Structure 1
């Protein structure tokens, strides 16, 4: 199997996680951010992740990939219930996390931005939708303070370092993907329980954190 991804993409992280959790070999193929033809040729639109299955067919959508792999390869692991409070936290965190992470992604030395054309493609698309990156970066002090408080609010919701609700669930894919994205932001204050969960999930899923390129 092959998994077509962007390295910075949290949706791609979700799909990558299940292969690490189940120790299933997967070939990762990083798409250039300005490559529209390849994903359109596979699934009809520009998107990632895309799984090329053993039968040669293609599957998009991160959680569809997670559930397909979990149910078709060995015994299911993702069997726990979700916690609405995790979903609420993710929803509330998004408004502060997104403008912090977005402008930093393009400077993160990710393979999808290896060419000037790919980098410009990303900047032009995202600035048109979310505002100038320079302005977003200027908001860093207030947003770092807000997200640090939100991480403190998250701490009592983490039941175990290997499963936020005590048993692996869809919440772990959504939550770890968000926390991994936030590791590109320098200066955040990580409570011990949240940091422990973040680090343990990175180890279990074999998905690297972004602390080496934090800005």
Structure 2
């Protein structure tokens, strides 16, 4: 199978996770950010991730891919209970963390930004929504302080470095991609158990963190 992705994209990370957690091979193909033709030819619109199944057909939507791959062999791994508090935490943190993440993504060495036009495409589209990236980077301190306060609250919810609720569940699929994205933000102090969870999940999923791209 092939998985078409953007490396920075948390939805793509969700789809990548299930292959790592189940130790299944997959060929990763990184799309250029400004390549509209390829995804539209596959699924009729520009989005990622896109799974190309063994029969050649295409499947979009990260969670559809997760459920499909997890149940392929009849032995799913995402069987643990979920905790509504985790979903609420992810929703709350996601309401402001793009202001920290997207300006840093735009400056980082991701394969989807291998050309100037691809980087400019991403920057133009995201600045139209969030505002000037240089201004957001300069104003990061207050958001980092807020994030560190919220990470302390997350710390009280993590039961194990192996899985946020003790056994693998959909909560891990939603939480780890955000924590992985946040590893690009220099100067953020994580509680010990949050850092241990993030590091262990990166190892289990075979998805590197982004420390090398810190801005």
- Give the secondary structure class of the aligned counterpart of 2:99: helix
C-alpha separation in 1, matches of 2:214 and 2:74: 36
Question: Could you state the TM-score of these two structures normalised by the residue count of structure 1?
Answer: 0.98
Alignment-derived partner of residue 14 in structure 2? 14
- Compute the displacement of 1:73 (Å): 2.9
Q: Which residue of 2 aligns with 1:78?
A: 78
Partner of 2:167: 167
Report what 1:28 is aligned to.
28
Please state whether the residue corresponding to 1:3 is helix, strand or coil: strand
Unmatched 5+ residue regions in structure 1?
Answer: none
Partner SS state of residue 75, structure 2? coil
Distance 2:64 2:196 in 1: 28
* 1:100 matched to 2:82: no
- Tell me how far 1:106 sits from its aligned partner: 1.2
Give per-residue Cα distances to partners, 1:73-124, cap 9 Å, x unaligned: 3511001121110011111111231100010001110000010000110011
Q: Where does structure 2 lack aligned partners over 5 or more consecutive residues?
A: none
Q: Where do 1:43-192 residues align within 5 Å?
A: 43-73=43-73, 75-192=75-192
CA distance in 1, matches of 2:158, 2:9: 23
Deviation at 1:139, TM superposition (A): 1.7
Contact persistence 1:106–1:119 (CA under 8 A): yes
- Partner Cα distance (1:108, 1:196) in 2: 25
What RMSD in Å do the two structures reach over aligned CA positions? 0.8
**Equivalent residue of 1:106, what SS?**
helix
Return the alpha-carbon distance in structure 1 between the equivalents of residues 139 and 13 of structure 2.
Answer: 26
